[in-house]
Amino acid sequence: MLTFPHLRVLSLHHEVSSPEDVYGFIHRHSSLLEVNVSFSSFRHFLSLESLMLLVEGTGIWTHQFTLGDEHERDMSQGSSNIGFKSFAFTRMPLASDPTHSSQGPLYELTRLALPVKIQAAFWSSDEWVSDVPQFLATADVFRAVEELRLSYENIQLYKKFTDFMREIGERLKG
């Protein structure tokens, strides 16, 4: 299997491979500290939790929800299924050599850019998806984030921008 042992930055745009293939490549390259990926189509339904587990280097990100998977709507478990086809992140190692670390996260998220696509198409199906404030309910993954860039193409659910930001602030307080 082809590997790049010193690769620090990965940028893939209009990628036609499956998210699982791309996630696998990222996982195999523990030297990666900056990643920017966009997929060519919106046929994949991704989970924020899987992306965060990938960022942390846990190796347990493998199940990607797809339209048609049966899963429970349980916000108490922090489920954050969200429609997106691109993401960018930077991370920092939690140990001097993350390749030889034991169990648990190997990296901490420092920057995240996530353009959230219109969720209304999923709302009309049997799928459950989160809006931005709901997925920020999993605030523990954002403890070291220095930069958070979100774009949100969803139906306007808030009459005022301040209401939207207030709800985000409440979610990030933990």
Positive or negative CA dihedral for 28, 33, 38, 44? positive
Across 25-36, average pLDDT: 93
pLDDT at 74: 39
Domain extents for the chain?
Answer: 9-62+80-94+105-172
Strand 9-15 to 46-47 pairing: unpaired
Q: Is the pLDDT of residue 79 over 70?
A: no
Q: Is the pLDDT of residue 72 over 50?
A: no
Calculate helix-pair angle for 48-56, 19-28, nearest 10 degrees. Answer: 20
Across 80-91, average pLDDT: 79
- DSSP per position, 62-108: -PPP-BTB-----GGGT--EE--SEEEEEEEESSS-GGG--SS-SEE
pLDDT tens digits for range 94-152: 987 766 656 778 999 999 998 876 655 555 555 555 566 666 665 566 778 888 887 77
Tell me if residue 47 falls in helix, strand or coil.
Answer: strand
How many CB atoms are located within 10 Å of the residue 136 CB? 22
